[in-house]
Amino acid sequence: MKHRTRVLVVDDSAFSRGVLSRKLDGDPEIEVIGLARDGAEALEKTRDLKPDVVTLDMQMPLMDGLTALRHIMADCPTPVVVVSALTSEDAKLTLEALELGAVDFFLKPSPSNPVGTNGGSEDLATKVKQASRVSAAQLKTMAYRSSRSQPGSRERRGRPEVGGKVAVIGSSTGGPRALCQLFRDFPDDIPSAMLVVQHMPPGFTRSLADRLDQLSRLEVTEAQPGDVLRQGRVLVAPGGFHMRVDERGRIELTREALVNGVRPAVDVTMESVARLFGADSLGVVLTGIGSDGVRGAASIRAAGGRVLVEDESTCTVFGMPKAVIESGNADVVVPLSRMAEEIIRTCKASRNCSVGDRL
C-alpha cells in the first residue's frame, strides 16, 4: 500500500481543526494522525507521533506558533505548513515563520469561508504533500541559514538614475525565505532595477515587500500602477495582480485571467521586460512548485538577455528552476548563497545606459 502523508493539525480553534482535518482526510494520500490546541501540545505531539507534516496556526495561547516552530526546527525538524488568517499581523507572522524554516502557508478557513481563501482543500492537500518531500536535513539547513543571516546596513546612498539591467526575480514555494537571504546579500549600488514576482495572495505581498525593505540596502516597495523603474529600486508584484512594464517604462497592474494557475505570474512580467529592454533584461528563477517562468525565460533569452536559476541543492522545491533548466533556457545555475554575486556580475557586465534611454 502506498505510504500516506501523516499530518498533525495544530490550531486553537475547534472549528478550524475540524475543517482542516476533514479536508485533509478527504485526500486518499493523506492521514491526519493527531490534533493539537496550542504550541506546547504541538511540540509534544510532534516528538511523540513523528508526523510527516505539521499544519501550524500562528496565534495560539500558552505557546504561539512561532515559538513552537523554533522548537520543532531545533528539536525534531519536521516540515511545517503555516495556516494563517488574512490579516496584516498574521501576514507578518507568516513571513517570519517562512524565514524560520516553514515550507509553505495556507489561508485558514473561517465560518464565512469554510474552505480557506486561496484555493480550497485541493491547494492545502497539495501544499501538505509537497512539504512532506522536504527532508529533515534540508530543514536543518534552511533553519541554520535563517539564524545566521543578518539584516544589511540601513545606510542608503543617493543613486543615479542609470544602470544596465532590468531584473525579474520569480519564486513560489520557499520563495519568501530565499528572497530574504538573497536581498541581505545585495549591495546598495547594484546597477539594476528589479521586479519581484512571488506567488502570494493579496495582503501578504505588502508584508513581504516591507520585510525585504527592512533587510536590504535597496529600496523595496509593493508595486503601484504608474511606478517608474530606476536603479536600486525593487518593486514587488501585489498579490492578485499581474505586473507588466508598459511602453513608457511604468508599472501596469491587471486582473487578467490566471496564468499557469497563478496571479501574479512570473511569465507575464518577464515577457513584458524582454519586449521592452531586450538584451538588458535579466531573469532569475528561484525555488517553487510548477513551471511558471519557462515562457518568460525563453522570451528573455530570445531577446538577448540572460537567465539565472537556483540550484537544486538550495531549493525548497526544485520545480520552477528544474522546468527552466529542462527547457534549455538557463544560462547559469547556482546555489542561493552565490545568486547575489552572480546577479551583480551579470548586471555590471551590461551596457552603461540608463533605463530611461531604453524607452
Task: Round to whole Å and give the CA distance between 325 and 70.
Answer: 34
Last residue of some domain: 147, 174, 204?
Answer: 147
| Position 118 confidence tier, pLDDT thresholds 50, 70, 90 | very low
Query: 22 with 171, same domain?
Result: no
Q: 154 lies in a domain?
A: no
What is the pLDDT averaged over residues 328-345?
A: 97
Active site residue 3: no
What is the pLDDT averaged over residues 73-91?
A: 88
Query: 76 with 174, same domain?
Result: no
Last residue of some domain: 86, 119, 147?
Answer: 147
User: Which residue did the predictor score with more confidence, 340 or 350?
Assistant: 340
What is the pLDDT averaged over residues 39-58?
A: 96
Query: 179 with 75, same domain?
Result: no
Number of domains in the chain: 2
The edge-to-edge listing of strands for the beta sheet with 5-10 is 30-36, 5-10, 53-57, 80-84, 104-107
∠ CA 303-308-312, rounded to 5°: 145
Q: Choose the catalytic residue: 12, 292, 299, 350.
A: 292
CA-based nearest residue to 289, from 322, 326, 332: 322
Q: Where are the alpha helices (DSSP H) in 105-221?
A: 121-131, 136-148, 175-184, 204-215
What is the pLDDT averaged over residues 289-296?
A: 96
Q: 231 lies in a domain?
A: yes
Q: What is the pLDDT of residue 116?
A: 47
Active site residue 121: no
Number of other CB atoms surrounding residue 266 within 10 Å? 37
Whether the predicted pLDDT of 280 surpasses 80? yes
Count, residues in the chain: 359
Query: 14 with 139, same domain?
Result: yes
Task: Round to whole Å and give the CA distance between 326 and 330.
Answer: 8
Asked if 193 contacts 249 with a C-beta cutoff of 8 angstroms, the reply is no
Q: Choose the catalytic residue: 12, 52, 171, 199.
A: 199
Q: What is the pLDDT of residue 117?
A: 43
The edge-to-edge listing of strands for the beta sheet with 281-285 is 219-222, 233-236, 192-198, 165-171, 281-285, 306-310, 332-334
Whether the predicted pLDDT of 115 surpasses 50? no
Which amino acid, residue 189? Answer: D
Whether the predicted pLDDT of 332 surpasses 70? yes
Residue owning grid cell 490579516: 87
Q: 157 lies in a domain?
A: no
Q: What is the pLDDT of residue 3?
A: 85
∠ CA 118-259-247, rounded to 5°: 120
Q: What is the DSSP letter of 237?
A: P
Active site residue 199: yes
Task: Round to whole Å and give the CA distance between 257 and 124.
Answer: 22
Q: 158 lies in a domain?
A: no
CATH code at 181?
3.40.50.180
Query: 15 with 98, same domain?
Result: yes
Q: What is the pLDDT of residue 350?
A: 56
Contacts of 84 (CB under 8 A, 6+ apart): 57, 58, 90, 91, 93, 94, 105, 106, 107, 108
Condensed to tens digits (0 to 9), the pLDDT of residues 215-245 reads 999 999 999 999 999 999 999 999 999 999 9
Query: 248 with 109, same domain?
Result: no
Q: 155 lies in a domain?
A: no
Query: 51 with 118, same domain?
Result: yes
Query: 224 with 330, same domain?
Result: yes
User: Which residue did the predictor score with more confidence, 307 or 189?
Assistant: 307
Q: Choose the catalytic residue: 13, 172, 272, 291.
A: 172
| Position 146 confidence tier, pLDDT thresholds 50, 70, 90 | low
Q: Which domain holds residue 321?
A: 165-358
Q: What is the pLDDT of residue 154?
A: 46
Whether the predicted pLDDT of 88 surpasses 80? no
Query: 105 with 169, same domain?
Result: no
Query: 132 with 181, same domain?
Result: no
Task: Round to whole Å and give the CA distance between 5 and 122.
Answer: 15
* Strand partners of residue 9: 35, 55
Whether the predicted pLDDT of 120 surpasses 50? no
Asked if 83 contacts 16 with a C-beta cutoff of 8 angstroms, the reply is yes
Half-sphere exposure of 188 (CA within 13 A, CB side): 14
Q: 152 lies in a domain?
A: no
CATH code at 133?
3.40.50.2300
Which amino acid, residue 40? Answer: A
Asked if 262 contacts 287 with a C-beta cutoff of 8 angstroms, the reply is no
Q: 284 lies in a domain?
A: yes
Q: What is the DSSP letter of 261?
A: T
Query: 127 with 175, same domain?
Result: no
Whether the predicted pLDDT of 100 surpasses 70? yes
Q: 343 lies in a domain?
A: yes
Query: 172 with 31, same domain?
Result: no
Last residue of some domain: 118, 147, 176?
Answer: 147
